[in-house]
Amino acid sequence: MFPVERKNRRIMIISFLAASLVLYLCPLLLQQPFAAAQLRRGFYSGVCPEAQHVVRETVRRAMARDPRSAASVMRLQFHDCFVNGCDASLLLDDTPSMLGEKLSLSNINSLRSYEVIDEAKEAVERACPGIVSCADIIIMAARDAVVLSGGPKWEVKLGRKDSLSASQEASDEIMPSPRANASSLVHLFERFNLSITDLVALSGSHSIGMGRCFSIVFRLYNQSGTGRPDPHMDPRYRFKLDQLCPVNGDGNVTGGLDATPTKFDNQYFKDLVRRRGFLNSDQTLYSGDGRTREVVKRFSVNQDAFFTAFVEGMVKLGDLQVQQPGEIRKNCREVNKQSERMDRMRTRF
């Protein structure tokens, strides 16, 4: 090859690489690719002022159809934010190349009301297309569910991006079991910088909603492999649960997580003090650890203290983020086609 030809070839290769790099970086820069965005109150007030109202009305309609949907929607925040941050990874359906979180151990046959988030997203997209993330819709809807159930009000921080993938493995590894004891829960929450007060206050979300017999039969009949029930249960309450959940009965039958399962109040803590907690992971906060017991006792006699701590906990939970590429999904159940392309390009480099 002549020197001139060699030089031309080198120039062509460099130009090709430079063009590829620009093509690769441009969409990323335009998309503000990293999910660990700066969150703030009023994030959409300039660009989509209707967003908060639209989400709240969607939750209100869902509750009118099915009062339990408030609890189910609120739970989504916990299950989304604990697994790689609040990025709506929870909402992604499985694909041939990715096992999503919907079928993880804690979520399968248990998480519900995904369609409420879909409905909110569709309504928000009609008002302002391509602006509001599914991750932020979860956070707004969870807050609205609490408010509309009689709980405290607060302003949410917004500005999250939606993830480009999900991880069933991470969900299986992180989400706590209903069998968990207090000290393991304290440790788990510490990993997320959440204190004992945060743990107890956030568990107070079980003030609304239902649990399945599947989640409690072991404590009714074979606590810790003893062949005996959990000793920390009021016998009359246990009798009631035995009727609801007989041995070899239907695991999908549900019972209230507290005595007032559609009202967000401090009844849950009163129940724990009376040893009427539904889940083992609830009762253990009173019966299993002196540090958590003190907080349960305080909240059982002071609803305002519970509400204040709950709001703090929800804000901290909503702050959980990891550095990863993100986007505003069009449909909460799947990544945008363009991102799939970007993802493919990224793996080629």
* Residues of span 212-271 touching ligand HEM by CB under 6 A: 212, 215, 257
Residue choice 43, 44, 78, 286 for contact with ligand HEM (CB under 6 A): 78
Give exposure, 75-114, as e/b (b: 16+ Cβ within 10 Å).
bbbbbbbbbbbbbbbbbbeeeeeeebbbebebbeebbbbb
258 is in an annotated binding site: yes
339 is in an annotated binding site: no
> Nearer Cβ to ligand HEM, position 72 or 89?
72
**187 has catalytic annotation:** no
Angle made by CA atoms 71, 73, 78, in degrees to the nearest 5 = 90
* Residues of span 134-193 touching ligand HEM by CB under 6 A: 176, 178, 180, 185
Residue span 29-68 as binding mask against ligand HEM, x where in contact by CB under 6 A, dash where not: ---------------------------------------x
- d(CA 339, CA 250) in angstroms, rounded, equals 43
* Residues of span 277-296 touching ligand HEM by CB under 6 A: 279, 281
> Nearer Cβ to ligand HEM, position 150 or 176?
176
**Minimum distance, C-beta of residue 43 to ligand HEM, in the bound complex (Å):** 21
Which amino acid is located at 261 in the chain?
P
CA–CA distances in Å: residue 191 to residues 50, 83, 135, 152, 311: 36, 12, 21, 26, 20
**Minimum distance, C-beta of residue 187 to ligand HEM, in the bound complex (Å):** 12
Choose among 82, 86, 87, 80: nearest CA to 113: 80
Helix-helix angle 337-348:3-30, to 10 degrees: 140
Alpha carbon distance, N-terminus to C-terminus of the chain: 29
Residue choice 210, 241, 295, 332 for contact with ligand HEM (CB under 6 A): 210
> Nearer Cβ to ligand HEM, position 48 or 139?
139
Cβ count near 122 (within 10 Å): 13
Residue with tokens 């990025």: 87
Where do contacts with ligand HEM occur on this chain (CB under 6 A)? Answer: 68, 71-72, 74-75, 77-78, 110, 112, 176, 178, 180, 185, 202-203, 205-206, 208-212, 215, 257, 279, 281
Q: Catalytic positions, please?
A: 79
Binding region for heme b: 206
